[in-house]
Amino acid sequence: MPAPVPRQRAIPAAESGQAPAAAQSTGSAPVSPEARTTAPRAADPSQSGTPDRTGTAPDRAETAAHTNLTLLLIEDDPGGSPIVPDLLDQSGKPIRIRTARNLTEAERLLTDDVHCILLDLALPAPGRTGDGDELAVLKHVLELAPRHAVLALTGADDAERGAEAVRVGAQDYLVRDELDGRLLSRAIRYAVERKRSDSAERRLAEGRVRAQENRRLERGLLPTPLLDGSPLRFAARYRPGRSRALLGGDFYDVVRTPDGTVHAMIGDVCGHGPDEAALGVELRIAWRALTLAGLCGDQLLGTLQEVLEHERADDEIFATLCTVDIAPDGRRAGLCLAGHPSPLLARPGVPARLLPYDNNGPALGLLPGARWPRTQVELGAEWSLMLYTDGLIEGRVGGTGERLGQEGMVEMIRRQLSEGLRGEELLRTAVNEVRDLNGGELTDDVAVLLLDRAV
């Protein structure tokens, strides 16, 4: 059975609402609403000031669908719509009208090109009893059309229900006996613009809430160092490469195990998106759990590689990692590198230098069954150990196009140490200088952590 054709009326008329009477005074035969939507209309330019409209009806209908406002009137008058006068939009184009006798028909006529709904509140709602909710029909329409502007239509003695309809969700209410073309046209335009404004404000508020929730989540995923009982001082600096993000693919952590050993690590998942950030968090949490469980060195990195292989979205994703375990006396450390830059060690009276890089193993996720040798390092009595990701060394230097590199970073840190910078101030100054040398924000994530032992 073919679907019934929607009743539509495009009524060109003056906003005064008196066009129907004027039409009858000319003595012309009445024209049905259906005919007015399809038949070409001739106009006398000398009288109306409007040029002749040529072309077929489908051409004009297609143009109207893109430019004209469309009103869906929901009322149960079987004879048409004497309650709605002729309407023009702000540009003088006729407002198209569709009429639905009930909510079932309204649902079928409620297509994307409808801009506003005029609802007669006297229309019975589905399943409504005599003592039911007086605004049940409005609530049903608001559920049916959450993105459309809605105008409520009431009787002259029912203004209180109209005001309640606005409180429930309608954009405005109109009194049936006071309707004219100018008032209704203005009310439709106002309702449509108010709905757009409300929708934009709601989307903005929802976006703000989501952003706040994401920030709280990201802050919660950043590590809290576990160094209770250790004489070492800790500082860290983190700058994600993604715009307006708090968390990137770089990750770090520091924990002290019951035997007094301080374990530190820093890593970098390839890529800069939210998936890489999530994987970095998983690897950090797995590292902390494995470290507290007593794993270290090659055994720990091998297990982390298994975690990476199971959690990554693509077989080509890998992660670099640097782990350091500092003996309880603070004078020695074990170093494991998995495709990661070597840490920087600074001691009083000795120029800062990079720790040995000879036993660097492959990045996690590249070679199944890989091994990562552990190198023993002498730290001394007083020292500073800086772990960092490659975002700190891959920034450009001025307009030369050359990268800062590890050598440039070492020279920069030596100079900053000679100026008396330490701890948080040293890291903040280093990251800011790298950004300034780059000529703007760095595109890669940057993570730096610093452990200090003083006598």
Give the span between the Cα atoms of 240 and 256, in whole angstroms: 26
Instruction: Give pTM, 2 decimals.
Output: 0.59
Q: Give the pLDDT score at 215.
A: 66
In one letter, which amino acid is 29?
A
Q: Give the pLDDT score at 318.
A: 97
- Judged against a pLDDT cut of 80, whether residue 54 lies above it is answered with no
Give the span between the Cα atoms of 36 and 10, in whole angstroms: 7
Q: 238-272: buried (b, 16+ CB within 10 Å) or exposed (e) per residue?
A: bbbbbeebbbbbbbbbbbbbeeebbbbbbbbbbbb
Q: Give the pLDDT score at 132.
A: 60
Q: Which residues contact 70 (CB under 8 A, 6 or more apart)?
A: 95, 96, 97, 98, 113, 114, 115, 116
| Predicted confidence band of residue 440 (pLDDT cuts 50, 70, 90) | confident
pLDDT digits (tens, 9 = 90+) for 221-238: 678 899 999 999 999 999
| Predicted confidence band of residue 24 (pLDDT cuts 50, 70, 90) | very low
**269 vs 206 pLDDT, higher one:** 269
In the predicted model, what is the mean pLDDT of residues 420-441? 94
Q: Give the pLDDT score at 157.
A: 81
- Judged against a pLDDT cut of 90, whether residue 302 lies above it is answered with yes
Q: Give the pLDDT score at 249.
A: 86
> What's the burial of 155, exposed, middle or buried (CB within 10 Å: 0-12/13-18/19+)?
middle
pLDDT digits (tens, 9 = 90+) for 315-336: 999 999 999 999 999 999 999 9
Share of residues in the chain with pLDDT > 70 (%): 77
Kindly report which listed range (20-24, 327-331, 403-407, 419-423) carries the lowest average pLDDT score.
Answer: 20-24
pLDDT digits (tens, 9 = 90+) for 157-197: 888 888 999 999 999 998 887 777 778 888 888 888 888 88
